[in-house]
Each structure stands twice: as structure tokens, then as C-alpha cells.
């Protein structure tokens, strides 16, 4: 799928491979002409726009893999996922925008390969591929976004699985159990090392909760950030043998435009050797309405035209989707280690209200706990109170059952604490500090969107 392709844009070539290897890898890329006979295209942007599409091709997957990872259905010959990737002109930043496959779109007027003329008509965005392949997909996306696409890259399931396996698997953290009977995904809450097949289940799952395709796109973005982090930190790029295996597996199922080969990827990545997850930002095109029924098309999602226009203008102007911190200077030997970013929790601490009580004879404990929870991002009252029971040994969290997810997130910040439901308590959780209290563990929300477009940077969604 397209996650592996994005990775190639970011890291391919940093292994210093020679001309013969480059030539052999180039020969493994399937070629397609997505810009054939295109006229009246949008004006070009600063930087480079790459349209990444992941198809549901599964022809090269073994029978065992099809059964194990629930890949036995008939392919729809459509784009399972569509992403616009913008590489900045300075090669120091990448912005990734997911385009929902069910987006309402208009296919431009065109003539198909059989010579039949088609007037413009409404479709779901992913249906453009089935109707007219890469050329019509490019034309439809350019029409919808107003962005000129410089390169086209397409991957299938096989390439995705092999790429993940070559880098040794990818670590994913989840704040709650995730189960999807359709893909076979079954993850407990916590940290998991996923192989290629398991990773494919993770990025394909749409039925783990009510968020459907939107939740799936968030998981795909989170996975892509984790894949970049793994590939740029485990020596794959510095080991020519590993690198060639990595590149070969990744490119074996790629289709790309004629102008985008291995040497072009090398040129991209030679300027991006310091690239890290924090150099990337991810978002989904802003949406206005979900489940809009269009006659002859089905249920679609409609973009927020005003916000989407602003988003694509930022890409056209080569500007980040969210402010990026200036590159940090090398740490001195006396510098303090970076602060632990925290365990991932399901509910953002900033949304959790807490009233602290002191359950001991230690007069300063209540204020100490309140201050520590505030420092960890929780919304405390700032005024701890004495408990009616001053002999509490184990710290207690009391919560209304309606706020059980908040209580679970708070409990991770207070390891060893007791959870006790109290009907009718309301939205404010009650923490009674016991004699066992030592400190508050840093925590962070699974998603921390920023700004108008709900953007996240790669370093905010990988495992701590």
C-alpha cells in the first residue's frame, strides 16, 4: 500500500547504493503514464506533490496469507487509499493529506481507451480508478484539490507486507483493545510489534469502532509515522545489504510515472538524511458532511470547501500545515535527558476534571498530588481538600461510570491506584491520595491534533 511508497520518498537512497543497484531497482518498477493527454492543468506548486494510491491488488499473496489475514475477497480494482504527499522545496518537511475514498467528487469530461466519450459526472473518489485508471484518478484529484500532481506512485498489499517485514516489523501503541472481525485484527491495549501481515490488518481495519473510514485513515497516518521512525533508526539505511533487500521488496509491486525512478528518489533523500517523524505532518482533508446520499453513487462524504481550499493553498505555497519547532541543537554532555513523552491514554488529560483529596496526615500531600496532576496536563480544581478518612493507604480514584474512559486514563497516570465507580458523581473525578503515592506518570492522548486542520506531527503519534 501507499505507506511503503511514502517511506521510499523519505528514505530511499540514504544507503549509498551504486549505479548497478540503482539500475536493477529501476527495472523492478512498473511504469504507467498517468499524465497522458492532460490539458488545462493547475499551476505548479513550490516543492513537489506526489499522489499516492494503494490498490487492493492481492494476486501475489499466498493462499496461507490470504486465509490468515482475511484477504480472500475479490479485489474491487479501485484505490483503497488515496494520499497527497507534499515534499517541501527545501526537502526538510513532508506533509501528508488523506483523501477519504468515499469523498464526493466529479470525474472530468473524458474519452476512455475504447474511444467512448463521457461527460463529467459525480462519483466516489476511489471509483475514478476503476473507471479510467491512473490518468482519470490524477485528473479527478487535480480537479478536486486545485493542486498540480508532479508524480504518481501506486502500491498493492504485497509490497506493503514485504516492506514492513524487511525493516523488522513496526511498533504500534493503542490505548484500548482493537478488534475487527472483517480483517482479523485483535490487539489488546498496549504496545505491539506488528509484522507485515498484522500491519496490513491494522491499516485496513474499518470496524474497530464507530469512526469507520475516518478512524482507519488516522491509524494509517500513525502507522506511517512509526514506519518512518523504524526505518530511520534501525540501521536499514546504513547497511547496503539490508537496504537493497528493503528497496527491492518495496519496489517489486510499485507502479510509477516514467519521470519518477530510483535516481529521483535518491535526489530527494540525499537532502533528507536528517529526516525524522517530527519532520512530517499528517491530516485528513476537512469534512463538512458525512453519509450524503447521491443518486447512482451511494453514501458519500463532502469536504468543507472553505477549509479544504485553505489547506491546499498552504501546500501550494509550500507552507507547513502546523508550526514546526526550529531544529534542536546538539545536546551537551551535561544536558538533561529529554522528558518522557508519556504513556498513551484514550482520553486527553486536558479533558479530565479532577478534585484531589488528602487521605493521609501528611499536610502537603494533597497539594503535591494536585500540582503533579496539573503538570501532567489534567484539569484539577487547584484546591485539594482533606479527606474524611485520613488513613488511606492505597490511592483511590472514584468516578461516575459514565466517565469510565477518563477514569482509566487517569489510573495510568496514578499506577497502583484503586478504581471505584460511584453512580451520580458527575464529570469530575475524585482522587484521594494515599500513603502509597509516589509520583504521577506522564501520559498523552492517542491523538493530539493541532490547528484548524487537526494536524498531527509524526513524533506525536509514535510510541513513547
In this prediction, residue 316 carries a pLDDT of 94
Statement to judge: residues 281 and 392 lie in one domain: no
Average pLDDT rounded to a whole number, residues 73-93: 78
309 and 374 in a single domain? The answer is no
Which span out of 48-57, 102-111, 154-163, 441-450 was modeled with the highest average pLDDT? 102-111
pLDDT of 1 over the 50 cut: no
- Residue 308 maps to a domain: yes
Per the domain annotation, does 22 fall within a domain? yes
Classify residue 220: in a domain, yes or no: yes
Domain assignment of residue 251, yes or no: yes
> 355 with 311, same domain?
no
On the CB side of 392, CA atoms within 13 Å amount to 23
For residues 219 and 197, what is the distance between their CA atoms, to the nearest angstrom?
15
What pLDDT score does 212 carry? 66
> Quick check: 17 pLDDT over 60?
no
Give domain status of residue 148, yes or no. yes
Check whether 9 has a pLDDT greater than 50: no
Judge if 244 and 381 occupy the same domain. Answer: no
Q: Which domain CATH number covers 399? A: 3.30.70
Is residue 164 in a domain?
A: yes
Residues 454 and 436 in one domain: no
> Same domain, yes or no, for 384 and 259?
no
- Burial (CB < 10 A; 0-12, 13-18, 19+), residue 330, is exposed
Sequence-separated (6 or more) residues with CB below 8 Å from residue 342: 376, 441, 442, 443, 444, 464
| pLDDT of 87 higher than 70 | yes
pLDDT for the residue 273? 56
47 or 77, which is more confident: 47
Structure confidence at residue 141 (pLDDT): 96
Long-range contacts of range 303-309, CB-CB < 8 Å, 24 or more positions apart? 303/103, 303/104, 303/144, 307/452, 307/453, 308/145, 309/146
Q: Are residues 179 and 216 in the same domain?
A: yes
Mean residue pLDDT across the chain: 81
What CATH number does the domain containing 259 carry?
A: 3.40.630.190
For residue 370, what are the domain limits?
A: 347-445
- 202 with 294, same domain? yes
**Pairwise pLDDT comparison (157 vs 48), residue with the higher score:** 48
Q: Residue 35: how many CA atoms within 13 Å on its side-chain side?
A: 17
Q: Tell me what pLDDT residue 152 has.
A: 92
- Clarify whether residues 96 and 208 are in a common domain: yes
Q: Which residue is associated with the grid cell 533487500?
A: 245
Look-up of cell digits 450524503: 292
Confirm whether 342 is domain-assigned.
no
Which pLDDT score, from 0 to 100, does residue 425 have? 93
Across 78-87, 164-173, 192-201, 333-342, the highest mean pLDDT is recorded for 192-201
Q: Which three cell numbers stand for residue 182?
A: 472483517
Tell me, rounded to whole angstroms, the distance of Cα 84 from its chain centroid.
13
DSSP label of 401: G
For residue range 371-422, what is the model confidence (pLDDT) as tens digits?
999 999 999 999 999 999 999 999 999 999 989 889 999 999 999 999 999 9
Question: Nearest CA to 376 among 356, 396, 362?
Answer: 356
Structural domain includes residue 89? yes
| Cα 351 to chain centroid, rounded | 22
Whether 356 and 307 share a structural domain: no
Q: Are residues 282 and 413 in the same domain?
A: no
Residue-level pLDDT at 305:
94
Position 376 scores a pLDDT of: 92
Q: Which of 58, 52, 161, 35 is nearest to 97 (CA)?
A: 52
Q: For the chain, give the number of residues.
A: 464
**Residue 6 near residue 203 (C-beta atoms within 8 A):** no
* Count of domains observed in the chain: 2
Q: What mean pLDDT is predicted for residues 234-263? A: 68
Amino acid at each position: 500500500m501507499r505507506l511503503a511508497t511514502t517511506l521510499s520518498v523519505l528514505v530511499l537512497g540514504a544507503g549509498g547504493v551504486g549505479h548497478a543497484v540503482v539500475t536493477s531497482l529501476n527495472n523492478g518498477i512498473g511504469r504507467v503514464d498517468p499524465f497522458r493527454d492532460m490539458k488545462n492543468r493547475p499551476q505548479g506548486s513550490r516543492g513537489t506533490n506526489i499522489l499516492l494510491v494503494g490498490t487492493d491488488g492481492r494476486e501475489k499473496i499466498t493462499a496461507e496469507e490470504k486465509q490468515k489475514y482475511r484477504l480472500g475477497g475479490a479485489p474491487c480494482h479501485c484505490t483503497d487509499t488515496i494520499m497527497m504527499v507534499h515534499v517541501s522545496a527545501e526537502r526538510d518537511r513532508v506533509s501528508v493529506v488523506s483523501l477519504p475514498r468515499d469523498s464526493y467528487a466529479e470525474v472530468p469530461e473524458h474519452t476512455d481507451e475504447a474511444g467512448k466519450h463521457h461527460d463529467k459526472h459525480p462519483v466516489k473518489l476511489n471509483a475514478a480508478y476503476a473507471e479510467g485508471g491512473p490518468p482519470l484518478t490524477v485528473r479527478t484529484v487535480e480537479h478536486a484539490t486545485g493542486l498540480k500532481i508532479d508524480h504518481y506512485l501506486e502500491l498493492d498489499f504485497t509490497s506493503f507486507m514485504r516492506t514492513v517485514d524487511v525493516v523488522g516489523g513496526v511498533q504500534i501503541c493503542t490505548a484500548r483493545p482493537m478488534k475487527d472481525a472483517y480483517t482479523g485484527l485483535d490487539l489488546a491495549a498496549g504496545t505491539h510489534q506488528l509484522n507485515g501481515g498484522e500491519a496490513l490488518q491494522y491499516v485496513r481495519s474499518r470496524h474497530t469502532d464507530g469512526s469507520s473510514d475516518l478512524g482507519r485513515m488516522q491509524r494509517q497516518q500513525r502507522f506511517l509515522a512509526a514506519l518512518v521512525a523504524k526505518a530511520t533508526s534501525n540501521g536499514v539505511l546504513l547497511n547496503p545489504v539490508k537496504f537493497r533487500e528493503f528497496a527491492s521488496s518495496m519496489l517489486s509491486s510499485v507502479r510509477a510515472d516514467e519521470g519518477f525512478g530510483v535516481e529521483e528518489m535518491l535526489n530527494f533523500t540525499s537532502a533528507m538524511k536528517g529526516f525524522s517523524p517530527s519532520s512530517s505532518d499528517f491530516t485528513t482533508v476537512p469534512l463538512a458532511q458525512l453519509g450524503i446520499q447521491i443518486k447512482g453513487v451511494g453514501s458519500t462524504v463532502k469536504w468543507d470547501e472553505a477549509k479544504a481550499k485553505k489547506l491546499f493553498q498552504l501546500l501550494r505555497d509550500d507552507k507547513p500545515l502546523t508550526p514546526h519547532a526550529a531544529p534542536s541543537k546538539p545536546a551537551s554532555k551535561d544536558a538533561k535527558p529529554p522528558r518522557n513523552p508519556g504513556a498513551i491514554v484514550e482520553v486527553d488529560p486536558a479533558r479530565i476534571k479532577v478534585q484531589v483529596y488528602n487521605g493521609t496526615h501528611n499536610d502537603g500531600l494533597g497539594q503535591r498530588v494536585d500540582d503533579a496532576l496539573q503538570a501532567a496536563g489534567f484539569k484539577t480544581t487547584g484546591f485539594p481538600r482533606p479527606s474524611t478518612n485520613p488513613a488511606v493507604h492505597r490511592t483511590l480514584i472514584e468516578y461516575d461510570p459514565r466517565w469510565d474512559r477518563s477514569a482509566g486514563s487517569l489510573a495510568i497516570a496514578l499506577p497502583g491506584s484503586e478504581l471505584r465507580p460511584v453512580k451520580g458523581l458527575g464529570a469530575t473525578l475524585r482522587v484521594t491520595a494515599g500513603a502509597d503515592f509516589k509520583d504521577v506518570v506522564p501520559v498523552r492522548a492517542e491523538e493530539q491534533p493541532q490547528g484548524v486542520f487537526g494536524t498531527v506531527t509524526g513524533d506525536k503519534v509514535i510510541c513513547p
